[in-house]
Amino acid sequence: MMTVVDVHVHVFERIAGIKDGAPITSTEHGRVKIGNRVVQFLPPSFEKSNSTVETLIAHMDWCGVDKALLVPNVLYGYHNEYVRQACDLYGDRLRAIALVDVLKGAEAREDLIKLVTYSGFRGLKIETESAFQCQPGEALDSPNLEPIWSCCNDLELPVMIHLSRPQDRRSLKNLVMRYRRIRFIICHLGNPPYDDWVDIVELALRKNVWMELSAMPAAFPEDEYPYVRACEYIMEAYRRLGPEKLMWGSDYPGILAKCTYQQSLEMFRKGCFSIPEAHKDLILGQNALNMFWS
């Protein structure tokens, strides 16, 4: 039977991060405080505005998702220890990638080496909007980040990159050429739509680049289930790349503000009608197993 893997989920005991240069913290019933503003961030059923591993596992069991990759973000805060404990608790069902402050140069490199070597983390996540809030002019391919890129290259790590800014696309192309042993994974199918989106998709034709499909229901805010426009972009990426370079993910729990967890899965299963079932099996599970569980 096919194994379903969600390659992009978030768990945190409480939000304690940064957004738009201001602190973001959990309040209650899905609301968060950003600076002095209170906004609805998660469904009200998230009573403490957190995302526990137990609630994640319950959603996975309910919807038939077998395994998940825990993905961090500066938006939520630094929760490497909680994530490590979650992986220990649920064994082979969970894997995780790490969060470090990439702007710290050599110190970031040492932090990542420890997390990978001693705590079992399988890679690195960078979301540029959050990571570079204090230095908004910094580039992904800046010399200041060379220690972290060299480390990932030496360890042959997967690196998930959320391209938040137009300049990130140019920087990523440089990184892909320079660091051939890093397995780059572009989050959210590259965050379409924009004019040169196809160029980013075709970057994944290179041996060391993949794409994941999380948060696609939210790509077009005006659309509703079954998210036809999002499916059109996914099918176009499949047409250009084939099945081996794509991995399904949800962006749980944030995506629940747009759709249910089941809908995030069924959108791909049923809405992406031009993708053969055997190829959907690769995208829904096997590619992620090869990347993070082998």
| pLDDT tens digits along 52-107 | 999 999 999 999 999 999 999 999 999 999 999 999 999 999 999 999 999 999 99
Backbone torsion region of residue 246, taken as left when φ is above 0, otherwise alpha when ψ lies between -120 and 50, otherwise beta? beta
The whole-model pTM stands at: 0.97
What pLDDT score was predicted for residue 134? 82
Q: What is the pLDDT of residue 21?
A: 85
User: What does the pLDDT average to over 191-196?
Assistant: 95
Interatomic CA distance for residues 76 and 13, integer angstroms: 10
Task: Kindly state the tokens that stand for 273.
Answer: 């009608």
Residue 160 and residue 215: Cα distance in Å, rounded?
A: 14
- Residue 133: the pLDDT is 87
- Compute the average pLDDT of residues 196-222: 97
What's the whole-number average pLDDT of the chain? 96
105 Cβ neighbours under 8 A, 6+ residues apart: 144, 145, 147, 148
User: How large is the average pLDDT for residues 170-180?
Assistant: 97
Position 288 pLDDT exceeds 80: yes
pLDDT of residue 10: 98
Residue 130: the pLDDT is 87
Residue ranges in the chain assigned as alpha helix (H):
53-63, 80-90, 106-119, 128-131, 146-155, 166-178, 197-203, 228-241, 261-271, 277-281, 287-288
- For the chain, what percent of residues have pLDDT higher than 70? 100
